[in-house]
Amino acid sequence: MDDVQVKQVLNTHHNTLENRGRLLVKCVDKPGIVSVLSTFLYEHECNIIESSQYSSNPENGMFFIRIAYHGDNLVAKAAQMEKDFEEVAHTHGMEYKFSYPAQRIRSAILVSQEPHCLIELLWEWQNGDLDTDIVVVISNHETARPMVESLGIPFHYIPANKEIRKQVEEEQIRLMEQYEVDLLILARYMQILTPGFVAHFENRIINIHHSFLPAFIGAGPYERAYERGVKLIGATSHYVTNNLDEGPIIEQDVERVDHRDDVTDLKKLGRQIERRVLARAVKWHLENRIIVEGNKTIVFH
């Protein structure tokens, strides 16, 4: 699929979403919250097309809900709806977010030498299965440049190591601002991010960890897994926080292995798991299916 065909797929998809909206709400649980929300949408001539909810405890727990809705001329009336909702949210102590699928999130991807997760994301994007615009790819290696530039996506090579980390991150932040990036995806980017960098993108950096966390944190997970004779290997995708590899988990998956599998086998299978776990996590973020609560996530599949 060439660049023109990709744009045609994305434009067709965009036109079908102009009258769609999503609403995420978090508040203390009490009777009538669903009624309040559905009444609000009804009064603004919107039809609920999908609704998922969860209560941590029906007696003074936290209530979480995701509503997808359709409304004629939504583009024209969305701003007024959001203004009207402020009073509802104040009355019921709601944290909330409106989003609109037609307003595509702008994503940047950071990658090092292993391209398998990047390739998966680019494939999903070309097919129209990731509702985002991939506006830039940044790498501390040149490996991925040909595949990225062949799709018309800007590629920036920034050598990185711990001695020049501050200068590297200053340049990365400059590029994030230049390309107006909303979401940053670490597709096997093998550099630790500083607290200052993470603070720029709270709950907007998604990482893939080559292990079923919290097991085998750090370097050489497959070698250590092999030495321990594990029977399951996996991958974890999570939001990045200042606690290394301990941010809110979005998605995990595993595969069964046995004594016949050597380190090479484990790495090959691990790459397959990493690809699909990261793609799912990114997709759910783009579809506004995730609410972060402390160091956990509520994910409405």
Residue 174 in this model has a pLDDT that exceeds 70: yes
Residue 16 in this model has a pLDDT that exceeds 90: no
DSSP the chain: --HHHHHHHHHHHHHTSTTEEEEEEEEE--TTHHHHHHHHHHHTTEEEEEEEEEES-TTT-EEEEEEEEEETTHHHHHHHHHHHHHHHHHHHT-EEEEE-TTSPEEEEEEE-S--HHHHHHHHHHHTT-S-EEEEEEEESSSTTHHHHHTTT--EEE----GGGHHHHHHHHHHHHHHTT-SEEEESS--SPPPHHHHHTTTT-EEEEESSSTTTT-SS-HHHHHHHHT-SEEEEEEEE--SSTT-SPEEEEEEEE--TT--HHHHHHHHHHHHHHHHHHHHHHHHTT-EEEETTEEEE--
Averaged pLDDT score across all residues of the chain: 92
- The rounded distance, in Å, linking the Cα atoms of 123 and 2 is 12
The fraction of the chain above a pLDDT of 90, given in percent, is 76
Q: How confident is the model at residue 60 (pLDDT cuts 50, 70, 90)?
A: confident
- The rounded distance, in Å, linking the Cα atoms of 161 and 168 is 8
What confidence score (pLDDT) does residue 10 get? 52
What confidence score (pLDDT) does residue 2 get? 62
Q: Highest mean pLDDT range out of 14-23, 256-265, 266-275, 279-288?
A: 279-288
Q: 147, 238 in Cβ contact below 8 A?
A: no
Tens-place pLDDT, residues 115-162: 999 999 999 999 999 999 999 999 999 999 999 999 999 999 999 888
Q: 240, 206 in Cβ contact below 8 A?
A: yes
Tens-place pLDDT, residues 178-229: 999 999 999 999 998 999 899 989 999 999 988 765 677 767 878 888 888 8
Q: How confident is the model at residue 38 (pLDDT cuts 50, 70, 90)?
A: very high
Q: 108 vs 246, which has greater pLDDT?
A: 108
Enumerate the active-site residues: 245
What confidence score (pLDDT) does residue 227 get? 86
The two tokens of residue 195 are 């607290």
Residue 14 in this model has a pLDDT that exceeds 70: no
What confidence score (pLDDT) does residue 214 get? 62
- The rounded distance, in Å, linking the Cα atoms of 2 and 16 is 22
What confidence score (pLDDT) does residue 286 get? 97
What confidence score (pLDDT) does residue 163 get? 85
* Range scoring the smallest mean pLDDT among 1-10, 54-63, 218-227, 285-294: 1-10
89: number of Cβ within 10 Å: 16
Residue 6 in this model has a pLDDT that exceeds 70: no
The two tokens of residue 46 are 């919107």
